[in-house]
Amino acid sequence: MPPRKRDKKSASPSPQPPSPKGKKRLKKKLPSSSDSPTRTSPLWDSPLGFFLSPFRPTTTQWGARYMYVSFALIIRAAVALGPYSGFQQPPMHGDFEAQRHWMEITTALPISKWYFYDLQWWGLDYPPLTAYHSWLCGVIGKYVNPEWFELDASRGCDAYGLKTFMRLTVLLSELLIYIPPVISFAKWTGKQYGYFPTDLSISAAAIIFQPALILVDHGHFQYNSVMLGLALLAFVNLNHQKYVVASFFFVASLCFKQMALYYSPVIFAFLLGLCVFPKINLRRFISIGVTVIVSFGVFFLPLILGGGMDQVKQCLIRVFPFGRGLWEDKVANFWCAGNTFFKFKLRYTSEQLQMYSLTLTLAAILPVMLIVFFNPKRKLIPWAFAACSWAFYLFSFQVHEKSVLVPLLPSTLLLATLDGNVISLVTWINNVAVFSMWPLLRRENLQLQYFVVLFLWNWLLGNFEPSRLWTATLPKSIFWRLVVIGFYVGMVALQVAEYLYPKVDRFPDLWVVGNVLLCAPCFALFWLYTLWNLWDKRGERA
């Protein structure tokens, strides 16, 4: 057969060098990492990744979100079925009664009396946005059943309907304010690192299932998710370069709970750095400054109109109670752990301890502020907020065990990275944080919730699978492997010893002190780890 002639259309033209114009067009069409994802999360082979694997196509990501958010709400509702802080424990009844009482006084009294009324019975001691949130919940609750919030007569009320209503307010607040920015943060991080779409869902779900927040807000009973959600909205808007909006949300977070101050040095240094580098941007500086001042003014205006500056002064006195002491209960930080050996409270006055605490805290956060000021890069955001807030938790004044939720938020956001070492250490520090709250949760009869939620978190992330033990569960560094394994051995030993010998007459606080002495060094090491990573990553592209 004679050879077939090639069709002109199929014939390969002789290679021609592309024109300069063509080169430019080609350069513009090159896909970015976010357009062609090629990287996979280390959590892909975990049970959490397995559950979300049917939603791998991009078009089904909405289904993945509905699935893990629904599952997260079910877990929270299940925890909420258990006891809460102060359940059937007169005379003060705990944090549940405190939150209910604030709804009572904000709906029954004029605003001028909110921060003055009967301070011995759970006086209001949070900033004004908490008071407004309590007022809104109280108005709705009074519509359902006015007896739940009758002034004075309702004290200690633990009606079943009230418990259901209060639990629902926490659930709804978290669904509206905390979960959406978690998803948004994971989505932004995924685009930066070039994730597959399902990896975004895995990261968001891992963050949302954080056990410590579930146990405190839905077990113990508080509204920490509102403050953390508002702070996270600020982080997300920093990522999207919406600095004015970020400033507003951060002020809102501060005006809901003063613990958001743990983040304030970083956001101040970050925004100031953006106003100075690469050149001075006076317009940005003024717009951010005006936003901060106006936002504070808006949040405090009802207090000023309702009670004048005396009301604002009383609010600040209640919000910053320096007379309470260096820490509350037993908390796994530098002061409480060190007091076991050095007896700070016996050697120094409260005023001296305040000064020492301030000095140590400033020394610990100064490197973070300097790094962020000279390198205001978005990829540093979770590392910077984690390093700064861990420093506050370890060294600042008036810390309690639930304050660990503040540094845990930016630390847990690091689950959205692709670094297996980072993910293994973030998982570990979450376990340390939950264990550090064991004395509190045990005191409130939340032992079942503690074990189930902690087990579920580790199982979802694949920490019980032998095949993942040396490749994903434990970090690669020998040093960190020894630290992590040492903690788990100590944790199990303390839990077993406390179960076998619940009371030691000679040392009534033996197991609580053991908990503090085990967890505090872990927190300190993780703080140094975040500080080192912040320094190491400062030169990376934003």
pLDDT in 10s for each residue of the chain, 542 residues:
444 444 444 344 444 444 444 444 433 333 333 344 555 778 888 899 888 888 776 666 778 888 999 999 999 999 999 998 888 887 888 899 999 999 999 999 999 999 998 888 888 989 999 999 999 999 999 999 999 999 888 888 888 999 999 999 999 999 999 999 999 999 898 888 777 778 888 999 999 999 999 999 999 999 999 999 999 999 999 999 999 999 999 999 999 999 999 999 999 999 999 999 889 999 999 999 999 999 999 999 999 998 888 889 999 989 887 666 676 678 999 999 998 898 888 888 888 888 999 999 999 999 999 999 999 999 999 999 999 999 999 999 888 889 999 999 999 999 998 788 999 999 999 999 999 999 999 999 999 999 999 999 999 999 998 888 877 788 989 999 999 999 999 999 999 999 999 888 888 889 999 999 999 999 999 999 999 999 998 877 76
Cα 86 to Cα 105: distance, rounded to the nearest angstrom: 19
Sign of the C-alpha dihedral computed for residues 265, 393, 416 and 470 taken in this order: positive
Cα 207 to Cα 203: distance, rounded to the nearest angstrom: 6
First and final C-alpha spacing in the chain? 64
Distances (CA, A) of 448 to 22, 315, 438, 454, 487: 66, 38, 11, 10, 22
- DSSP three-state, residue 309: helix
Bridge partners, residue 195, by sequence: 39
Q: Where are the alpha helices (DSSP H) in 42-159?
A: 47-52, 61-80, 94-108, 128-144
Cα 315 to Cα 126: distance, rounded to the nearest angstrom: 8
Tokens of 413: 């956001």
Domain ranges of the chain: 47-536
Sequence letter at residue 239 = N
pLDDT of residue 325: 66
Cα 125 to Cα 326: distance, rounded to the nearest angstrom: 17
Cα 24 to Cα 413: distance, rounded to the nearest angstrom: 38
- DSSP three-state, residue 327: strand
DSSP string, 464-477: T-GGGIIIIIS-SS
